[in-house]
Amino acid sequence: MAPSEIAVTVRATTVDDVPRLLELFAALADYEQLADELHATEEQLREALFGQRPAAEALIAERGSESVGYALFFPTFSSFLATRGIWLEDLFVLPAHRGAGVGRALLAAVAARVPDAGGRLEWCALDWNELALGFYRGIGARAMDQWTTLRLHGEPLARLAAESADRR
C-alpha cells in the first residue's frame, strides 16, 4: 500500500497515550513557534484527561501503527442558544501526514461528539497559518471576525481572582 493510501483511524486516548500526546504537543508548539511556552507534564496531562474530574478529552489519529495527529477539546455552553457545544483547543497533524485525510478524520470525530443538534464546534487558528485556514474554509467553517479572543493568564488572572469575595 502506498503511503498516501494508508487508512486513517481515530480513537479516544487512553492513559497510555499521555507520553505520545506530549510529543505531539511539542510538535505543535514547534510548528507554531511557541516551544518555550510548553510546560505540560505527563502527570498534569494524566490528571487533566483521566483524573476524577476530567477537564478535556483527546483523540488520536493513527495511520498504520503510528500516532500522527490529535485533537484536544472540552465542552462549552451557549447562553443564547441554550445548547451545549465543544471548544477545539488543538487540532494537529504531523507535517508528513498532512493532505492524507488525517485532519478531516479528527475534525469529523470531534464534530460527532457535539452533544446537541443545535450545538456548535468552535476553535481558533493563527492568522498566519494559511494551510489550516484554507482547510477550515474548505469544510465550510467561517471566521467569526467580529469576535476577538482575549486571555487572562498568570499574575493578572491571580490579581483579579483575589478580588473575589466568593473564592473557593
Annotation marks residue 70 as catalytic: no
Catalytic residue, chosen from 136, 142, 156, 168, is 136
Residue 10: which of 89, 110, 81, 116 has the closest Cα? 110
List, in sequence order, every beta strand (DSSP E) within the chain.
Answer: 8-12, 57-63, 66-78, 83-93, 121-123
Q: What's the CA gap between 166 and 23, in Å, rounded?
A: 38
Residue 35 CB contacts under 8 Å (≥ 6 apart), including other chains: 26, 29
Sheet holding 83-93, edge to edge: 8-12, 57-63, 66-78, 83-93, 121-123
Residue 34 CB contacts under 8 Å (≥ 6 apart), including other chains: none
Q: Which residues are catalytic?
A: 136
